[in-house]
Amino acid sequence: MPLSDLSQRLSTKSHRLVITTHWNPDGDAVGSSLGLAHYLRGQGHSVQVVLPNAPSAPLKKTPGYGSAFVHVHGDHPEAAEQAIREAEGLFSLDYNTASRVGEALMPWVRDFPGFRVLVDHHQEPDGGYDYVYSQTSKSSTAEMVYDFMAQDGGTLDASAADALMMGLITDTGSFRFPSVSPATLAAASALVESGAEPHAIHERLFDAHSPSRLRLWGRALSSLELLAGGRAALVHLSARDLVDCGYEAGDTEGLVNQALSISGVLVSAFAREDGAAGMVKLSFRSKADVDVNAFARAHWQGGGHIHAAGGKSDASLPDTLARLRQTLSELGAK
Ligand SMILES: [Mn+2]
């Protein structure tokens, strides 16, 4: 059923609702979840937000993050599970399949007995939702939450507007990705009208980094390799690099985009060795018609969008890099 039917259902009485999002919540995950929570609370519903694990430090400054209605499952599983148990309806925001919330939270999402709502812009979502808003052409889940509110007809407070604007800014690279449409900019305009301050969000997000992050970026960028005649780029960090530079969670967020700033580079890959998990985490970004979603699915146990995808490798870092060089050369040569 479409979300207009959900509006109808929610308008009949006050509901107990829980909003969930994906593991390692990014700006869009946190922004869309808190934006929707502020809005629905303003409409008189009882709303809890459950994040699988904690986001990076700048995202914790989103309005409402420290409130009693926000639960991090990894930190306080009982409170998060109680919030889900007591809810009549569960929202899945910014993810397409239950496994994206992580192993511990997954059964709670998969087996939720009440009504279920999906709002997401990733490809090939799971079935089984009562209300579905899935559109891969959308810039961000935050934009889709804005669409829902606009058709729902209620008013947005400044906290909701700020959180949603953060989702728009982070998922669009500050409004420069091809996914930005007239509707994206119309949503942004309405959010500023409602009190969002893009400059303040930018400062909070991008001028608030740790020294370790800058050292790590320096280390990673000095590993830069160009492949496929300069059309593909690869950077990496070893577990040793992470220790040397004092790695903190979130330090490498956005790093994969850097190599795309080189003239002629159409696909960028970033490999980070995760010693504790015994794997290498991979991020891919691309331009034009280079499809990193297909690339990550075919070779790297992952997926995502055409221009942004992730994956992993169970091989050692040197073996993974060797295979990356080969597969990226093939991809870049197409
Ligand atoms: Mn998103």
pLDDT tens sequence across 215-243: 999 999 999 999 999 999 999 999 999 99
Could you tell me the distance, in angstroms and rounded to a whole number, from the CA of residue 171 to the centre of ligand 1?
6
CA 325 – ligand 1 centroid, Å = 28
The helix-helix angle for 141-152 and 3-11 (nearest 10°) equals 50
Cα end-to-end span (Å), the chain: 41
Mean pLDDT of 126-131: 91
Instruction: Identify the structural domains of the chain with CATH numbers, from first to last.
Output: 3-206 (3.90.1640.10), 211-333 (3.10.310.30)
Distance 281 CA to ligand 1 centre (A): 19
CB burial of 134-160 (b: ≥16 within 10 Å; e: otherwise) equals beeebbbbbbbbbbbbeebebebbebb
For tokens 């058709």, the residue is 151
Predicted local distance difference test score (pLDDT) of residue 245? 95
Mean pLDDT of 7-29: 96
What is the chain's mean pLDDT, rounded?
Answer: 95
Compute, in angstroms, the gap from residue 293 CA to the centroid of ligand 1.
14
Please tell me the distance from the alpha carbon of residue 158 to that of residue 36, in angstroms, as a whole number: 12
CA 229 / ligand 1 centre spacing (Å): 32
pLDDT band at 124 (very low <50, low <70, confident <90, very high): confident
Model confidence over 167-206: pLDDT tens digits?
999 999 999 999 999 999 999 999 999 999 999 999 999 9
As residues whose CB is below 5 A from the ion ligand 1, the structure lists: 28, 94, 141, 171
Q: Which two tokens stand for residue 135?
A: 């559109």
Helix (H) or strand (E) holding 185: helix 182-193
